[in-house]
């Protein structure tokens, strides 16, 4: 299974990976069992065999808003990442290529340090005056505040990796600087765009704090819905488990197909600073 | 307008809308006695909020806990992430399946991860504690001694995959030649790792640490879901402190001041980290 | 562009003016509410209200407890409220009222025929009164009671404890290898405060005395904390320092623990056939908190000061909390707050039985909230942090309570 040279190394590697898989998968298995457990077994850690119930799945899939919450989350994450790439790529390119932007590389990260608890109030007041409270647009705006800097920072590294000859050659061929960027350099960093995009997607997908305050009713995102199973009366683990699973499965399938590109993308130069 | 500024303009516009204004507003708040329930009585207090926060035992304790948390979590994630990345790079079968499975924890919203582990590690009702109990091990995961460590472990579960992703990418992009040379010289695996792999990975490691640490400073959901900062104030983190001050006690001025003090601390740490790693490398000059 | 836009705007404006003169009661009511069992009942009853008032649409924005405070705050900061009706937890009442978030309801109450405000249990309705004005009318109570496994008490021949010392002894004697006497909730902050305050009441203590002096570190308080710690050590599950309501409930419903101090309205859920308790359903009974005086929690209906149509908001609030609807709500399983409902034989028969309502009446007779003041939320957190430090042995009880007193002073600066 492994390309290590000695047999003990291969065996050790095997056990290490199995251990890692168990540690990662065990909570998922437990979450799955929890989703089909009858409610009376909620406090029994030692019961593994029981008549399964489909009530939770039925309830979450067909009688709750979770499917539309997932769509909201997808929409928010996609829109956030799209905007972040749109504004982040040209800027990152400029930071990578032009003089005078050395400080920008780091200061762009300063935005990442601001605790959300303190940005939320200004956001709320502005969004209120724009009448964008409880709208997906408001959450997208808030998510931009932490997705844009990270995406831009990633992209700087990718552009650094692209040889300068590439756009020089393009400009010799008659392209303007912008055309060279758009038609030659951008395609060259495509895996990088994918990697930065996925990372931005995860950040937006997981956010609870902004979404909790800036969405309501129809515009709720998935983390808000999941947190909603934590009521004053206790955590409704069964239904929460279903929501977790249906939220993770599509992303897992996605990551199954793209992780190769993802790895190649990040390897393409996110790693420079 | 110069061409290079035109490239940056869209970013500048977006960031001033979503960052500059909120930050400026917060800075203004931090200089006032700004209570959400007394908005008709907002008073200029100068640096009072800062001196109050900087001497508040609760804040200092939260800062200490957070730094412990960040160092502990990021260090563990770094070691585990590096180890797993090396194994995964050498993995030749089930590659896709195992890689994407190991990345899965990243995709669960942290509040759900927190609640999951709250029940998994629960002393009477949790599976993990139950079976540890069967073999005679009784661990008080959320007692005063271990609670912060348990929160660190949860963070490690969720975010080691990020490190794996970064390092795997770094490893696969390394040139083959130095490894060939090491092999021909008959260097041991450990020596190759220490003197070839690690130095070449250093830039990735720094980037991964910075991104992960910045995120870890914001740890909130696990604490909120499991301990609420307790027992006592053993797991009170800085984000929880700011959340409480601002959104439960409505003392926005103090919350904002705490946030800016936090930024100062983070900046100092990040600069120190960058300095420390840069001085050890001949940084590839590619600008 | 502009031309196209202005035409519908004008028609909307005209029709709005026309409608508002023709049908006074037309309204969209947006109501923030917490996801609790009572909400389901309210939602069902509201369908009738909408049927009787076809021009009114009621939309509930249901959410978990932890989101509510922020949402109410942000709605109150806005020039015009997001919510036309809100519910208010008792620690927030004075704070919100004094911040000017809430509209006084006295005139409305006086002009509503048959509303009978005095019928509300006094301890509950007085929470909505701040400086002589009424800002909230009771929605439901969450006073604490003692919930026990009656079958175990019967088998062991145990009496229901009426003093805190009896209770400590009883739960200690019930603790065996596979059973704990008491499931407790020593989680830092609100949870431990809510539980320990019952011990404090039993010893005659409180946070403030009648003159407003801090007495949280007096002799009674130290004794109460020592007793609480002793109970935790002798009768609660090991390593349960971070337990909140949730874990305690699970421990009792799964048969791991024999008693708990908890919300009175949990009893029906514990006894529900096919519910969380499985085979144990039917074995739980509710009693007064040992010592007699219970911690009281109440949610009240309120109308935001910045709500657009306060008349319509009150119309709904007065309907849902009217004696007649309150009675039906109780029969459907709601937590009662009216004396007439608590003493109603139809409610006993169609609800959860006479014993439950009698016990509840007894609890509400002598019950008081955690603390008062405009920063009650903060004080609860402060004291709850120190209590947790004492139970986890990071501080001695006296030390922790002294620190709590100092922190309360600091917070009241």
Residue A196 and residue A68 in one domain: yes
Q: What is the average pLDDT score of chain C?
A: 90
**Residue A74 lies in domain:** 64-267
Helices (H) and strands (E) in chain A, counts: 13, 2
A248 to chain B, any CB pair closer than 8 A? The answer is: yes
B196 to chain C, any CB pair closer than 8 A? The answer is: no
CATH of B28-279, one of 1.10.3720.10, 3.10.20.30, 3.30.1180.20, 3.90.930.12: 1.10.3720.10
Query: What is the DSSP annotation of B218-284?
Result: T--HHHHHHTTT-STTTT--HHHHHHIIIIIS-BHHHHHHHHHHHHHHHHHHHHHHHHHHHHHS---
B215 pLDDT above the threshold of 80: yes
B159 pLDDT above the threshold of 80: yes
How far away is chain A from the Cα of C73, in angstroms, using its nearest Cα? 10
A210 pLDDT above the threshold of 60: yes
CA distance B89 to B179: 14
Yes or no, beta carbons of B11 and A101 under 8 Å apart: no
* Of B6-20, B212-226, C2-16, minimum mean pLDDT range: C2-16
Highest mean pLDDT among A4-18, A94-108, B66-80, C32-46: B66-80
Residue A142 and residue A116 in one domain: yes
Q: How confident is the model at residue C411 (pLDDT cuts 50, 70, 90)?
A: confident
Q: How confident is the model at residue A227 (pLDDT cuts 50, 70, 90)?
A: confident
The 8-class DSSP code of residue C322 comes to S
Residue A108 and residue A22 in one domain: no
B4 pLDDT above the threshold of 90: no
Q: What is the mean pLDDT of residues A76-101?
A: 92
CA distance C56 to C28: 6
Give C260-298 pLDDT, tens digit per residue.
999 998 898 899 888 888 899 999 999 999 999 999 999
> Residues of A near C (CB-CB distance < 8 A)?
38-44, 124-125, 128, 133-134, 212-213, 216-217, 224, 227-228, 230-235
Q: Which residues pair with C214 in a beta bridge?
A: C208
CA distance B279 to C187: 47
Residue A174 and residue A262 in one domain: yes
In a domain, A273, yes or no: no
Highest mean pLDDT among A189-198, C22-31, C307-316: C307-316
Q: What is the mean pLDDT of residues A189-208?
A: 86
Question: In angstroms, how far is CA A199 from the centroid of its own chain?
Answer: 5
Q: Give the count of alpha carbons within 13 A of C384, CB side only.
A: 26
B27 neighbourhood in chain A, CB within 8 Å: none
Residue A41 and residue A98 in one domain: no
B287 pLDDT above the threshold of 60: no
The 8-class DSSP code of residue B140 comes to -
In a domain, A137, yes or no: yes
Cβ-based neighbours of B87, under 8 Å, separated by 6 or more: A2, A13, A16, A17
Minimal Cβ distance to B231: which of C70, C241, C411? C241
Task: Tell me the CATH number for domain C144-295+375-411.
Answer: 3.40.190.10
Residue A96 and residue A49 in one domain: no
A250 pLDDT above the threshold of 90: no
Q: How confident is the model at residue A162 (pLDDT cuts 50, 70, 90)?
A: confident
pLDDT at residue B154, rounded to an integer: 97
Residue A49 and residue A80 in one domain: no
Two tokens at B113?
Answer: 């991860």
Interface subset of A 167-226, CB within 8 angstroms of B: 177-178, 181, 195, 202, 205-209, 222-223, 226
pLDDT at residue B195, rounded to an integer: 87
pLDDT at residue B219, rounded to an integer: 92
Q: B267 preceded by cis ω (within 30°)?
A: no
Nearest-CA neighbor of B214 among B68, B69, B70? B70
Q: What is the mean pLDDT of residues B227-233?
A: 91
Scan for tokens 């009170």, then name that residue.
Answer: B236
pLDDT at residue B1, rounded to an integer: 67
Cβ-based neighbours of B16, under 8 Å, separated by 6 or more: none
How far away is chain B from the Cα of C255, in angstroms, using its nearest Cα? 11
In a domain, A1, yes or no: no
Question: In angstroms, how far is CA C125 from the centroid of its own chain?
Answer: 12
Highest mean pLDDT among A101-105, B96-100, C145-149: C145-149
pLDDT at residue C10, rounded to an integer: 38
Q: How confident is the model at residue A237 (pLDDT cuts 50, 70, 90)?
A: confident
Yes or no, beta carbons of B38 and C99 under 8 Å apart: yes
How far away is chain A from the Cα of B278, in angstroms, using its nearest Cα? 10
pLDDT at residue A209, rounded to an integer: 85
Give C171-220 pLDDT, tens digit per residue.
999 999 889 999 999 999 999 999 999 999 999 999 999 998 999 999 99
Q: What percent of chain A has pLDDT over 90?
A: 27
Nearest-CA neighbor of A228 among A15, A65, A78? A65
Give C387-408 pLDDT, tens digit per residue.
999 999 999 999 999 999 999 9
pLDDT at residue A213, rounded to an integer: 80
Contact between residue A42 and residue C254 where contact means Cβ atoms under 8 Å apart? yes
Contact between residue C69 and residue C280 where contact means Cβ atoms under 8 Å apart? no
Domain count for chain A: 2
CA distance A144 to B126: 38
pLDDT at residue B279, rounded to an integer: 57
Residue A24 and residue A101 in one domain: no
Yes or no, beta carbons of B247 and C70 under 8 Å apart: yes
Highest mean pLDDT among A94-98, B158-162, B276-280: B158-162
B242 to chain C, any CB pair closer than 8 A? The answer is: no
pLDDT at residue B148, rounded to an integer: 96
CA distance C140 to C145: 15
Q: What is the 3-state secondary structure (H, E, C) of C270-319?
A: HHCCCCCCHHHCCCEEEECCCCCCEECCEEEEECECCCCCHHHHHHHHHH
C227 pLDDT above the threshold of 60: yes
Minimal Cβ distance to A271: which of B87, B93, B207? B207
Q: How confident is the model at residue C146 (pLDDT cuts 50, 70, 90)?
A: very high
Examine the predicted complex and report whether its ipTM is higher than 0.85: yes
Yes or no, beta carbons of A91 and B217 under 8 Å apart: no
Q: What is the mean pLDDT of residues A192-218?
A: 86
pLDDT at residue C11, rounded to an integer: 39
In a domain, A159, yes or no: yes
Residue ranges per domain, chain C?
25-141+297-359, 144-295+375-411
Residue C367's region, left for phi above 0, alpha for psi from -120 to 50, else beta, is beta
CA distance B122 to A152: 41
Neighbours of B282 (CB within 10 A): 7
Give B30-67 pLDDT, tens digit per residue.
999 998 888 888 899 999 999 999 999 999 999 999 99
pLDDT at residue C282, rounded to an integer: 93
Q: What is the mean pLDDT of residues C117-138?
A: 96
Q: What is the CA radius of gyration of chain C?
A: 23
Residue A47 and residue A144 in one domain: no
Q: How confident is the model at residue A269 (pLDDT cuts 50, 70, 90)?
A: low
| Class of the domain covering C25-141+297-359 | alpha beta
Helix (H, G, I), strand (E, B) or coil at C260: strand
pLDDT at residue C233, rounded to an integer: 96
In a domain, A196, yes or no: yes
Residue A32 and residue A145 in one domain: no
Two tokens at A257?
Answer: 């197909």
Q: How confident is the model at residue A86 (pLDDT cuts 50, 70, 90)?
A: very high
Give A253-263 pLDDT, tens digit per residue.
877 777 777 77
Contact between residue A195 and residue A270 where contact means Cβ atoms under 8 Å apart? yes
In a domain, A199, yes or no: yes
Q: What is the mean pLDDT of residues B265-285?
A: 70
pLDDT at residue B280, rounded to an integer: 52
A40 neighbourhood in chain C, CB within 8 Å: 253-254, 274-279
CATH number, domain with residue A68: 1.10.3720.10
Strand C294-295 and strand C367-368: the pairing is parallel
Q: What is the mean pLDDT of residues C20-35?
A: 71
């Amino acid at each position: 299974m492994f390309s290590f040279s000695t047999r003990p190394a291969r065996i050790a590697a095997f056990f290490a990976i199995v251990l890692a898989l168990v540690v990662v998968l065990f909570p998922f298995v437990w979450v799955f069992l929890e989703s089909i457990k009858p409610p009376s077994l909620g406090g029994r850690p030692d019961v593994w065999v029981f008549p399964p119930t489909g009530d939770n799945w039925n309830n979450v899939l067909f009688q709750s808003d979770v499917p539309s919450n997932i769509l909201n989350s997808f929409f928010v994450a996609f829109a956030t990442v799209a905007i972040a790439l749109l504004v982040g790529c040209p800027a990152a390119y400029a930071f990578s290529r032009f003089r005078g932007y050395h400080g920008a590389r780091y200061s762009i990260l300063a935005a990442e340090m601001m605790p959300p608890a303190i940005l939320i109030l200004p956001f709320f007041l502005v969004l209120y005056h724009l009448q964008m409270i409880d709208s997906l647009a408001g959450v997208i705006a808030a998510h931009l505040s932490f997705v844009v800097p990270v995406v831009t920072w990633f992209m700087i590294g990718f552009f650094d990796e692209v040889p300068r000859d590439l756009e020089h050659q393009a400009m010799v061929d008659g392209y303007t600087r912008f055309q060279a960027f758009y038609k030659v350099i951008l395609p060259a960093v495509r895996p990088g765009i994918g990697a930065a995009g996925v990372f931005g997607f995860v950040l937006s997908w997981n956010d609870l704090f902004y979404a909790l305050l800036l969405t309501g009713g129809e515009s709720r995102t998935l983390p808000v819905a999941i947190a909603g199973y934590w009521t004053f009366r206790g955590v409704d683990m069964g239904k929460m488990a279903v929501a977790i699973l249906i939220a993770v499965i599509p992303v897992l399938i996605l990551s199954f197909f793209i992780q190769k590109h993802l790895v190649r993308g990040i390897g393409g130069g996110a790693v420079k600073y | 307008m110069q061409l290079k500024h035109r490239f940056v303009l869209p970013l500048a516009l977006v960031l001033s809308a979503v960052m500059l204004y909120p930050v400026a507003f917060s800075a203004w708040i931090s200089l006032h006695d700004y209570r959400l329930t007394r908005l008709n009585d907002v008073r200029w207090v100068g640096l009072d909020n800062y001196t109050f926060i900087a001497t508040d035992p609760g804040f200092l304790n939260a800062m200490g806990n957070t730094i412990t948390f960040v160092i502990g979590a990021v260090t563990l994630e770094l070691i585990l992430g590096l180890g797993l990345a090396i194994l995964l790079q050498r993995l030749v079968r089930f590659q896709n399946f195992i890689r994407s499975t190991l990345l899965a924890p990243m995709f669960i919203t942290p509040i759900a991860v927190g609640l999951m582990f709250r029940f998994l590690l629960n002393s009477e009702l949790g599976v993990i504690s139950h079976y540890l109990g069967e073999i005679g091990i009784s661990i008080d995961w959320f007692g005063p001694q271990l609670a912060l460590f348990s929160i660190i472990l949860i963070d490690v579960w969720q975010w080691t995959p990020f490190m794996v992703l970064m390092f795997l990418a770094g490893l696969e992009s390394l040139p083959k030649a130095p490894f060939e040379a090491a092999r021909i010289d008959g260097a041991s695996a450990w020596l190759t790792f220490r003197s070839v792999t690690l130095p070449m990975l250093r830039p990735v490691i720094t980037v991964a640490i910075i991104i992960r640490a910045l995120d870890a400073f914001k740890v909130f959901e696990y604490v909120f879901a499991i301990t609420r900062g307790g027992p006592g104030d053993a797991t009170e983190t800085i984000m929880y402190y700011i959340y409480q001050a601002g959104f439960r006690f409505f003392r926005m001025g103090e919350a904002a001041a705490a946030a800016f003090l936090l930024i100062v601390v983070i900046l100092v740490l990040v600069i120190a980290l960058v300095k420390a790693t840069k001085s050890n490398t001949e940084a590839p000059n590619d600008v | 562009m502009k031309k196209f836009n202005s035409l519908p705007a004008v028609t909307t404006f005209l029709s709005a003016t026309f409608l508002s003169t023709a049908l006074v009661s037309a309204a969209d009511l947006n109501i923030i509410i917490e996801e609790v069992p009572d909400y389901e009942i309210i939602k069902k009853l509201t369908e009738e209200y909408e049927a009787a008032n076809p021009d009114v649409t009621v939309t509930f924005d249901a959410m978990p407890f932890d989101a509510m405070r922020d949402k109410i705050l942000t709605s109150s900061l806005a020039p015009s409220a997001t919510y036309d009706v809100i519910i208010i937890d008792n620690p927030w009442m004075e704070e919100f009222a004094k911040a000017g978030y809430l509209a006084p309801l006295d005139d409305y109450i006086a002009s509503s025929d048959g509303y009978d405000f005095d019928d509300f249990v006094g301890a509950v309705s007085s929470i909505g009164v701040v400086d002589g004005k009424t800002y909230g009318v009771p929605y439901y109570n969450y006073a604490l009671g003692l919930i026990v496994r009656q079958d175990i008490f019967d088998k062991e021949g145990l009496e229901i404890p009426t003093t805190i010392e009896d209770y400590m002894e009883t739960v200690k004697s019930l603790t065996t290898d596979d059973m704990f006497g008491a499931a407790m909730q020593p989680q830092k902050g609100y949870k431990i405060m809510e539980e320990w305050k019952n011990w404090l009441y039993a010893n005659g203590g409180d946070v403030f005395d009648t003159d407003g002096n801090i007495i949280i570190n007096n002799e009674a308080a130290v004794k109460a904390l020592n007793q609480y710690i002793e109970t935790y050590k002798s009768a609660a599950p090991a390593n349960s320092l971070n337990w909140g309501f949730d874990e305690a409930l699970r421990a009792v419903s799964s048969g791991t623990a024999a008693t708990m101090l908890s919300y009175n309205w949990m009893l029906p859920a514990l006894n529900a056939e096919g519910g969380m308790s499985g085979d144990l359903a039917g074995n739980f009974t509710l009693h007064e908190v040992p010592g007699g005086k219970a911690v009281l929690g109440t949610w009240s209906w309120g109308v935001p000061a910045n709500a657009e149509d306060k008349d319509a908001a009150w119309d709904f609030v007065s309907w849902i909390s009217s004696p007649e609807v309150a009675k039906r709500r109780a029969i459907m399983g709601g937590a009662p707050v009216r004396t007439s409902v608590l003493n109603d034989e139809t409610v006993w028969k169609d609800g959860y039985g006479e014993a439950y309502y009698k016990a509840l009446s007894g609890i509400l007779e002598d019950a008081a909230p955690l603390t008062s003041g405009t920063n009650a939320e903060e004080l609860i957190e402060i004291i709850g942090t120190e209590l947790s430090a004492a139970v986890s042995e990071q501080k001695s009880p006296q030390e922790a309570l002294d620190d709590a007193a100092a922190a309360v002073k600091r917070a009241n600066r």
